[in-house]
Structure 1
């Protein structure tokens, strides 16, 4: 059986490392599912999702010249709601319109930020000016 890019296969997990899972594809062929290709969601520990001996569906994404086979499980998953909202936004919808109220709120928030920032900078300058120089006070 020849393995080709884009082919969907059922594989058996043979080993798990921090960076991914090795799987047996049959016919003495094996491949790697990198940790970033396991799920659409964040994967902190592969052991939470996979275990040795588990059967998984994979998609062949790349076959290197040296025979290494790169696989993906996440490309076979349904996209999560969060990713579909950002990717499949209809073109006729525009960005939300900013009303005059939101502009005034922004200006008020900006004024508060600037006053707070100035107060912090003044305090910082006051505390560091006396510490410059080192022994013996000011140098010319």
Structure 2
């Protein structure tokens, strides 16, 4: 099978180590889910998230065609509120705009003139 970065695949957990889990995608292709790709939250023990012989879905984040080895991510396919909130915080606050009755009253005269001009064209 041909694998590509970004592809969602299913694999079987074949080994668990303190740094991640080994996965068999097919007869010729192996992968590793590093502990940092298990969850957005703190992962003390990989075995709390996956077990030996589990069949799990992953996202391929890197693939070496020569060795047929994949770097996999479990957290990349799981919807997670924490990740979305953190992403918005990185963007920073939007510039503040003062909107209120004062800004409307400043534009009102211009809008009335434009509206009257449009009436004559109809």
Query: With structure 2 as the length reference, what TM-score do the two structures score?
Result: 0.67
1:26-105 to 2 correspondences below 5 Å: 26-64=26-64, 66-67=66-67, 68-81=69-82, 83-88=83-88, 91-92=93-94
Are the counterparts in 2 of residues 40 and 80 from structure 1 also a CA contact under 8 Å?
A: no
Following TM superposition, by how much is the alpha carbon of 1:93 offset from its aligned partner in structure 2, in angstroms?
6.0
Flag as ranges the 4+ runs of structure 1 deviating above 3 A. 89-94
* Rg (Cα) greater in structure: 1
- Structure 1 residue 55, shift from structure 2 partner: 1.1
Classify the secondary structure of the residue corresponding to 1:6: coil
Do the aligned partners of 1:14 and 1:23 also contact (CA within 8 Å) in 2? Answer: yes
Deviation of 1:50 (Å): 1.0
Distance 1:84 1:4 in 2: 25
Number of residue pairs matched by the alignment: 93
Bigger relative contact order (CA 8 A; separation at least 6): 2
Higher mean displacement: 59-68 or 49-58: 59-68
TM-score (norm 1): 0.59
Unaligned runs of 5+ in 2: 97-122
